[in-house]
Amino acid sequence: MLFENLNVWKRSSRLCCDIMEEFESNKNYALKDQIFRSSLSIPSNIAEGEERETLKEKIRFYYYAKGSCGEVITQLLIAIETSNIHKKEGFRMLSEAREIAKVLATIIQNDKNKLKIKGK
């Protein structure tokens, strides 16, 4: 399957675009740069994982994507708390980042189970 067809890739790409649009005119350049990078890392690592040759490599890149979700969640919480983002939009994106992290955790666990079965 092409990574572009994966729902989790589509959702994380949309989240990245939403973050970029929301923070475009933000004057807190350090926060803006960091959240741009971490949000872009989520779909990028999903794509890289899907393009790898082994399931073990795929899992590693999905862990990176999940870690980037944690970064985005942290940065959104800080942006909301410091009024660097509209609260309503910030909480919507925060909820989506948490859901994406849950989906990634499920995929990782399922793939780890596949590795265990193959190992037996």
Q: Which of 41, 49, 51 is nearest to 107 (CA)?
A: 49
Every domain of the chain and the residues it spans: 3-22+29-119
Q: Is 74 within 8 Å of 98 (Cβ atoms)?
A: no
pLDDT (0 to 100) of residue 105: 98
- Residues 6 or more apart whose CB falls under 8 angstroms from that of 63 comprise 108
What is the tens place of the pLDDT at every residue in 79-113? 999 999 999 999 999 999 999 999 999 999 999 99
The 10s digit of each residue's pLDDT in 41-56 is 999 999 999 999 999 9
Architecture of domain 3-22+29-119 in CATH? Up-down Bundle (1.20)
Secondary element (H or E) of residue 40: helix 29-51
Residue 85's Cα: distance from chain center in Å? Answer: 19
DSSP single-letter state for residue 25: T
* 71 in Cβ contact with 82 (< 8 Å): no
Cβ-proximal residues to 7 (8 Å cutoff; 6+ apart), any chain: 103
Q: Based on DSSP, count helices (H) and strands (E) in the chain, helices before strands.
A: 4, 0
